[in-house]
Amino acid sequence: MREIVYRGKYLTMSLERIGDNIYERVTLRSGIRVIPVDESGKVLFIREFRTHEKKSRLKLVGGWMDKEGLSSLEVAREELREEVSLKARKWKLFHTHNTANATVEERVDYFVAEDLEKMEKQLNPDSDVVEEIVFLDRDGFLKKLQQEKIIWDKDVAVLFMFWEARRKTNC
pLDDT at 20 > cutoff 80: yes
The residues spanned by each domain of the chain are 30-96+110-169
The CA-CA-CA angle for residues 101, 102, 103, to 5°, reads 125
pLDDT value, residue 75: 97
Q: pLDDT tens-digit profile of 110-166?
A: 999 999 999 987 666 676 778 999 999 999 999 999 999 999 999 999 999 999 999
Classify domain 30-96+110-169 at the CATH class level.
alpha beta
Q: pLDDT tens-digit profile of 116-129?
A: 999 987 666 676 77
Q: pLDDT tens-digit profile of 46-67?
A: 998 888 888 888 999 999 999 8
Q: Is 63:108 a contact under the CB 8 Å cutoff?
A: no
Reported pTM:
0.93
Contacts of 15 (CB under 8 A, 6+ apart): 2, 3, 5, 22, 23, 24, 25
Q: Report the percentage of the chain scoring pLDDT > 70.
A: 96
